[in-house]
């Protein structure tokens, strides 16, 4: 279990408990947090669960998967700290993780 904070582009904070083994994307979708579309359902085939991971967390979470950067090329306003939230698996180590969401996904 990890407490994860999702910050909408307008600054609204959502902090929820997400079970280990779920992805950060699933944590948002299951808690009805707006700002993550996840059109493809987590198969790394779109770029609509795009988040910005706070700098201090970026190096601590699992590295990008092969192909993830290819999808991020197609994301809305990708930055250096961009990730696809469907590729970040939640574990106890992620307790306190903060992700910012882009203005929109599509």
Partner 1 sequence: MIKTDALIIGAGPTGLFTAHQLKLIGLDCEIVDNLDKIGGQCIELYPDKPIYDIPAVPECTGEELTNNLINQLKPFDIKFHLSERVDEVKKDGDKWIVKTNKGNVFTTPNVIIAGGVGSFEPRKFSVEGHEKFEDKSILYSIKDKNIFKGRTVSIFGGGDSALDWAVELSNNCNVNLIHRRDEFRGAQATVDKVHELTKSKKINLFTKFQLKKINGSSNIESIDIEDDDKNIKNLKTDYVLGFFGLIMQLGPIANWGLNINKKTVEVDTEKFETNQKGIYAVGDICNYPGKLKLILSGFHEGALAARACFKLARPNEKYRFEFTTSSKAIKNRLGVKSD
User: Where does this chain bind partner 1 (CB under 8 A)?
Assistant: 37, 39-41, 43, 45-48, 69-70, 73-74, 76-80, 103, 106
- What value, to the nearest 5°, has the Cα angle with vertex 88 and ends 46 and 72? 35
Task: Kindly tell me which of 35 and 94 has the beta carbon lying closer to partner 1.
Answer: 35
At its nearest, how many Å lie between partner 1 and the CB of residue 73? 5
Min separation Cβ 32 and partner 1, Å: 10
Distances 28 to 19, 45, 66, 82 between C-alpha atoms, Å? 12, 18, 23, 16
Give the nearer residue to partner 1 in terms of CB position, either 1 or 45: 45
The least CB distance from residue 42 to partner 1, in Å, is 11
Cβ-based neighbours of 73, under 8 Å, separated by 6 or more: none
Question: Which is closer to partner 1, CB of 17 or CB of 70?
Answer: 70
């Amino acid at each position: 279990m990890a407490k994860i904070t999702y910050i909408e582009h307008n600054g609204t904070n959502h902090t929820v408990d997400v079970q280990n083994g779920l992805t950060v994307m699933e944590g948002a979708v299951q808690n009805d947090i707006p700002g993550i579309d996840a059109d493809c359902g987590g198969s790394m085939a779109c770029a609509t669960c795009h988040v910005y991971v706070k700098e201090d967390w970026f190096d601590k979470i699992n590295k990008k998967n092969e192909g993830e950067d290819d999808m991020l090329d197609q994301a809305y306003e990708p930055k250096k700290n961009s990730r696809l939230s469907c590729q970040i698996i939640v574990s106890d180590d992620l307790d306190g993780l903060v992700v910012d969401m882009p203005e929109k996904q599509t």
